[in-house]
Amino acid sequence: MKIKEYRTQFIDALTPIYDPGEAESFFYLILEEKKQLKRIDLALHLDLVFSDEEILIWNSILEQLLKEIPVQYLLGKTSFYGLDFEVNENVLIPRPETEELVEWVLSNNLIIQKSKNLKILDIGTGSGCIAISLAKNLQNAQVFAIDVSEKALVTAQKNAKINAVKVTFINQNILETEDLRQQFDIIVSNPPYVRNLEKEEIKKNVLDNEPHMALFVEDNDALIFYKKIAELAQKNLSEDGQLYFEINQYLGKEMIDLLEKMNFKNIELRKDIYGNDRMMKADLSL
């Protein structure tokens, strides 16, 4: 079968569940991974074909997409901040909003790192996307990353190797940590922040496949991770240290109140590309 003909069938099969543009993006992601062909290749060579064996493989992938299994898990990989990352059911799929958080940290520290060897801690690293992206772009920095999941850390370690960076990974439950035992110039975290009451807003492919431990918090204690990390930052941030968070879009005011009560200063709340309150930065008031 000609690839262009299968492409039409593939997108048509997915459009009852996915937006046509999203279904088309899935097709080209898989095409590049499975056959090393890009959109332009298909446009220039209309007679390219799939073998019967390839059709079977594609039909199997299509069947899993119809069950709303994320395409990134099916391919076992994704891109984040221009880097390649392995992903699986043990880690969240990195989001564009988190790329914005990385960009904020970098924009504030690219000049600083030329005259200072920064020490950075990423709490709740998951796939390692934040820590590894920072290590790749702040090459003089010493980067540490914590996660409670041993399986997530195995994936993060693979990703550090894939991207040729050194990150010190630590298996640790941050909620049970009283002191980090060293000082950091930057602490950054994208902790669990989705309340159970917001589950109905989560897409089925996320809800049914991505690790709930990395996503959800109890409705009556939604800021549990932020409180703990801020407490640790009070002890373990250097004199001019910076604290960065990705946050629940509905809890921006509550986050500002929390950090103000804990005597942080220069608190800044930023919106993401979708116009939602998503990122915060604060400095420690001494």
Number of domains in the chain: 2
Instruction: Name, in order, each residue with C-beta under 8 angstroms of 20's C-beta and a sequence gap of 6 or more.
Output: 11
Tell me the pLDDT band of 107, cut-offs 50, 70 and 90: very high
Residues 176 and 137 in one domain: yes
Measured distance CA(75)–CA(70) in Å, rounded: 9
pLDDT of residue 286 exceeding 60, the answer is no
pLDDT of residue 12: 96
Residues 89 and 185 in one domain: yes
Q: With 0-12 CB in 10 A as exposed, 13-18 as middle and 19+ as buried, what is 134?
A: buried
For the full predicted model, state whether its pTM sits above 0.85.
yes
For residue 57, give both structure tokens: 């493989």
Residues 154 and 223 in one domain: yes
Q: With 0-12 CB in 10 A as exposed, 13-18 as middle and 19+ as buried, what is 26?
A: buried
Residue 178 lies in domain: 78-284
Residues 239 and 261 in one domain: yes
